[in-house]
Structure 1
Amino acid sequence: MNEDHGLSLADGDTDARWAFGTGFTDPLHGVATAVPDGVDAAALAAHCLALADDALVSAQRLGEWCTRAPELEEEVALANIGLDLLGQARLLYTRAGQAEGSGRSEDDLAYFRDPSDFRNVRLVELPNGDFAFSMARLLVFATWRLALFERLAGSPDPVLAAVAAKGVKELTYHRQYAADWVVRLGDGTEESHRRMQQGLDEVAPYLGELLTGHTGFGVDPAQVEDEVTAVLRQVAEAARLTLREAVPLPGSGREGDRTEHLAPLLAELQGVARAHPGAVW
């Protein structure tokens, strides 16, 4: 694991424990919103839309743990992680609407698109399962997204770069939180070890889609894959778990392939907005 993002929560800036709500500085303050010369506006819009969809759907799944997590502290932690991702989604949807020049707002993009229009990776659509599966998924998702955002912080688009730079601090905590739980469960009782191994095995077929889903805008997929693989191996070793090879699933969420689970998730998420279009509160 790279040294800037170790597993110990005791190291470094403790604000990273609770990234949501610790800083209210507008990450886009003073950042020009015009798409720079040389940047393909359509590609930028598609890139931001996909990243926003990842975050929105993941946030909705995390919110489902409220009242269901093993302890109250974990409910609060997962809610905060979900709110971090929701904040990222809002900024990215807004940038997508600006770049495509359609005038669509963050609400339009979040609430008034059908499942077939979403471009998130399919990993985030899956039901939460037990706590071990959700921690395995969060570890993989946060590790990948952090590696991606670290590189997008150098994007030629200043807005995307600013959003990514803000997200790095949040995602560092997300990854660390998940890693701590994976180690705790994997290196725990016989039953917790079994469940944690099963969670990693169930996540494994979706990893390939993450590692091939983004290119350009300062991102080298090979570097992302190397970092993600190294981190997952380190955590698995500490947890006495095995990272098993899995056959990647056919299709791609980035190309519009969906699981059966996205439609009911969006029906719940979008229900109020669609029942009262244009309402404000």
Structure 2
Amino acid sequence: MDTTSHEDKEEIKEVDFKQKWVDFLADAEQNKNFHRYSPEKNGVTRLGAKLSPHPNTDKEIYRHLKKQLKPTEASDIWMESKNYICDLVAATNIDEFEENIETKALVEGEKKTCRCINDICKIMAKIYLKRPSITLSESVYNTNLIFPCFEAMLAMIKKNEHAPYFIPGEFELAAMTVQLKKMGFKVDKRKIYKADGIIRLAELGDLEVLVLETAGAFGHDDHAKTSFDNSKGMFALLAMLKTVADHYKFASVEEFRKLKLYFVQPSGKQ
């Protein structure tokens, strides 16, 4: 008679699943079908809604892993401001839209959120004029839309205890340089990792928590560049993760699991 409970069976199944991943990654390290710079060759795997697995990946365990991704939910602060946003965008032309932005009173108790919404709307109004169009180049896309949105977001949390700040435009990712030095590599300043943007926490020793890689101009569908930048961002996150772990080397595993680092990749028309 089988007395194994449902919970025990699920736990056994989960352990078996994890072991399959361990075996797969161990095999990939020696498997010549994996490029030496592929994530699997380096003991990790990329996972996301629009990311395809490596052709040699076990499709069953990949699907199992993908199911564990939690769906993204809209933030409560934006849902609570829905009426405020609707009042701003209820305009028949660009002039009326800009007037709404300037005259709409801030909601008491939600002033920071409203100011952020106003800042974003001002950015959208400028984009609407298409001077120049964000489809012109990656630089225009970043300068006129992506960078200002980051600044608006950080302005909303400017009193955050960790003092986050944004560095735009081809700036060195310090975490990558630090980790390469620790591995004994001579760092060539001509070949350092430069990100399109970085967010650091000033009060935590300038630890990097977000890296931005924009894959071309708005609407520019370059699958090869998107895939390359995605892999590049993944290795950037690993370097950032290791740097945080080095900084807080006495932190518990439970606390470390709560850590969230971010890779932002504007691409195509999204």
TM-score (norm 1): 0.24
Report the structure, 1 or 2, having the larger helix content: 1
TM-score, normalisation: structure 2: 0.24
Q: Which structure has more RCO (C-alpha within 8 Å, separation ≥ 6)?
A: 1
Structure with larger Rg: 2
